[in-house]
């Protein structure tokens, strides 16, 4: 099934409209109109959290999720790099769900994950029958063609980063948005919390699946990355252990990749790879590569120099490093970034190239 016609009937207040336009943000239901076009000359750019916050607050005031038509039931502010997305391969958006709201269940061919910005135990992404809590900095995968809905049973609005390979799919490959709504607003919860961790986490089922290849009985699309929650507490502990015992990468600092739980190896998705990066040993060395990088600032402040431009960031900002642009990071003190890259696409065809820049 292909995505229905976009919604253009939703009214935003003038204040919200101004906030969005001034800060290169647009609501998701509008940019879906523009998907299918390539961004020429991708520029380095940054979106400051205070601007994003004001815009998502405005959208939240103006538009209850229940008012959004089927097919567009996600309340998201999308950073746009001139037209409709942050890059030609990776999409990011900032989604909010208010207390008592549900972003209804749907599924699609695009790979997706959530990285929680401001969450809590009672904010849940339900995927493949399990409720995953969305606590701060948790990363939750939603496999391709697997039902997922977002439910806020708490008393505070939650916000998170959605990351999808949608522009690759829609713009670069000029495909259509293969998408379906669930017949129910909320998919049935059929598994206890921790079920998917029991299949793909630190312990694994002792016996292989019937086909002998997959450790858990994931009944969905077997080629897809399984449903999984990477809790930040464990991820950060591992990152700091690594920093205590290993030299940093000259370009990325102490860098820990999120692995595909089915294989134990990076990349997390065939199209996108993700890493937690601890920058605590001064500026990194400049390099360039033909992969696009998108960054989210988990904590700290600093500057990333891209092609002669200084992107000054602090907590929860989002910025993009275009392909082939020389860049290096300069934290003010200690900083932690979520690094996102389309490098796996290029590597899969042996097109990937990178080089250090001698100073
Ligand atoms: Fe989705
Ligand atoms: Fe880089």
Give the model's confidence band at 2: pLDDT under 50 very low, under 70 low, under 90 confident, else very high.
very low
So what's the pLDDT on residue 36? 80
pTM summary value = 0.94
135 near 231, Cβ under 8 Å?
Answer: yes
Distance, CA 270 to ligand 1 centroid (Å)?
A: 17
200 near 261, Cβ under 8 Å?
Answer: yes
Per-domain boundaries in the chain: 14-199, 231-356
Burial of 160 (0-12, 13-18, 19+ CB in 10 A): buried
Distance, CA 289 to ligand 2 centroid (Å)?
A: 7
pLDDT mean over 64-85: 90
Distance, CA 245 to ligand 1 centroid (Å)?
A: 38
So what's the pLDDT on residue 218? 60
Range list of H helices, 11-65: 14-22, 28-31, 49-62
Nearest-ligand number for the alpha carbon of 181: 1
Domain boundaries 14-199, corresponding CATH code: 2.60.120.10
The pairing of strands 318-321 and 45-47 is: antiparallel
pLDDT mean over 232-245: 97
Distance, CA 278 to ligand 2 centroid (Å)?
A: 14
Give the model's confidence band at 214: pLDDT under 50 very low, under 70 low, under 90 confident, else very high.
low
Percent of the chain with pLDDT over 70: 94
Nearest-ligand number for the alpha carbon of 73: 1
Nearest-ligand number for the alpha carbon of 323: 2
Distance, CA 315 to ligand 2 centroid (Å)?
A: 20
Burial of 209 (0-12, 13-18, 19+ CB in 10 A): middle
Distance, CA 223 to ligand 2 centroid (Å)?
A: 28
DSSP letter assigned to residue 144: T
Nearest-ligand number for the alpha carbon of 251: 2
- Two tokens, residue 107: 């599924």
Distance, CA 118 to ligand 2 centroid (Å)?
A: 27
So what's the pLDDT on residue 216? 53
Distance, CA 187 to ligand 1 centroid (Å)?
A: 13
The torsion angles phi and psi of 167, rounded to 5 degrees, stand at: -65, -30
Nearest-ligand number for the alpha carbon of 127: 1
Nearest-ligand number for the alpha carbon of 357: 2
Higher pLDDT, 224 or 120: 120
Lowest-confidence range among 91-95, 133-137, 164-168, 348-352? 164-168
pLDDT mean over 93-107: 97
So what's the pLDDT on residue 227? 95
Which CATH superfamily, name and number, covers 231-356? Jelly Rolls (2.60.120.10)
pLDDT mean over 330-342: 98
Q: Looking only at Cα atoms, what is the longest distance across the chain?
A: 59
CA 343, CA 267: separation in Å to the nearest integer?
Answer: 9
Domains 14-199 and 231-356 share a fold: yes
Give the model's confidence band at 239: pLDDT under 50 very low, under 70 low, under 90 confident, else very high.
very high
Distance, CA 62 to ligand 2 centroid (Å)?
A: 38
So what's the pLDDT on residue 222? 76
DSSP letter assigned to residue 174: -
Nearest-ligand number for the alpha carbon of 293: 2
Nearest-ligand number for the alpha carbon of 110: 1
The helix or strand, by DSSP H or E, that contains position 54, with its residue range, turns out to be: helix 49-62
CA 161, CA 136: separation in Å to the nearest integer?
Answer: 11
Lowest-confidence range among 107-111, 201-205, 241-245? 201-205
Give the model's confidence band at 215: pLDDT under 50 very low, under 70 low, under 90 confident, else very high.
low
So what's the pLDDT on residue 24? 96
pLDDT score of 290 more than 70: yes
To the nearest whole number, what is the mean pLDDT of the chain?
Answer: 92
What's the pLDDT tens digit per position in 129-175?
999 999 999 999 999 999 999 999 999 999 999 999 999 988 888 88
pLDDT score of 217 more than 80: no
């Amino acid at each position: 099934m292909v995505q229905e016609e976009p919604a253009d009937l939703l009214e935003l207040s003038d204040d919200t409209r101004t906030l969005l336009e001034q800060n290169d943000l647009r609501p998701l239901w509008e940019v879906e109109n523009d998907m299918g076009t390539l961004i020429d000359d991708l520029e380095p750019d940054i979106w400051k959290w205070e601007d994003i916050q004001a815009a998502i607050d405005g959208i939240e005031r103006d538009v209850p999720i229940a008012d959004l038509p089927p097919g567009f039931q996600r309340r998201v502010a999308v950073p746009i790099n001139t037209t409709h997305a942050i890059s030609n391969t990776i999409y990011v958006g900032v989604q909010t769900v208010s207390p008592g709201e549900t972003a209804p269940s749907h599924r699609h061919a695009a790979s997706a994950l959530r990285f929680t910005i401001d969450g809590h135990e009672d904010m849940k992404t339900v995927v493949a029958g399990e409720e995953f809590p969305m606590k701060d900095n948790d990363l939750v995968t939603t496999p391709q063609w697997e039902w997922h809905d977002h439910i806020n049973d708490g008393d505070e609005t939650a916000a998170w980063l959605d990351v999808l390979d949608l522009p690759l799919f829609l713009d670069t490959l000029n495909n259509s948005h293969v998408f379906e709504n669930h017949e129910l607003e909320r998919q049935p919860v059929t598994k206890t919390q921790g079920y998917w961790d029991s299949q793909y986490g630190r312990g694994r089922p002792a016996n292989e699946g019937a086909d002998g290849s997959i450790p858990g009985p994931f009944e969905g699309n077997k080629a897809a990355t399984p449903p999984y929650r990477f809790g930040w507490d464990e991820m950060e502990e591992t990152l700091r252990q690594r920093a205590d015992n290993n030299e940093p990468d000259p370009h990325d600092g102490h860098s820990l990749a999120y692995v595909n739980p089915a294989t134990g190896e990076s990349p997390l998705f065939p199209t996108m790879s993700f890493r937690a990066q601890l920058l605590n040993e001064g500026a990194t060395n400049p390099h360039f590569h033909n992969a696009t990088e998108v960054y989210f600032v988990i904590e700290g402040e600093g500057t990333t120099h891209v092609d002669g431009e200084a992107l000054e960031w602090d907590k929860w900002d989002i910025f993009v490093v275009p392909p082939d642009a020389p860049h290096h990071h300069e934290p003010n003190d200690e900083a932690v970034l979520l690094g996102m890259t389309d490098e796996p696409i290029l590597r899969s065809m042996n097109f990937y190239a990178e080089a250090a820049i001698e100073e």
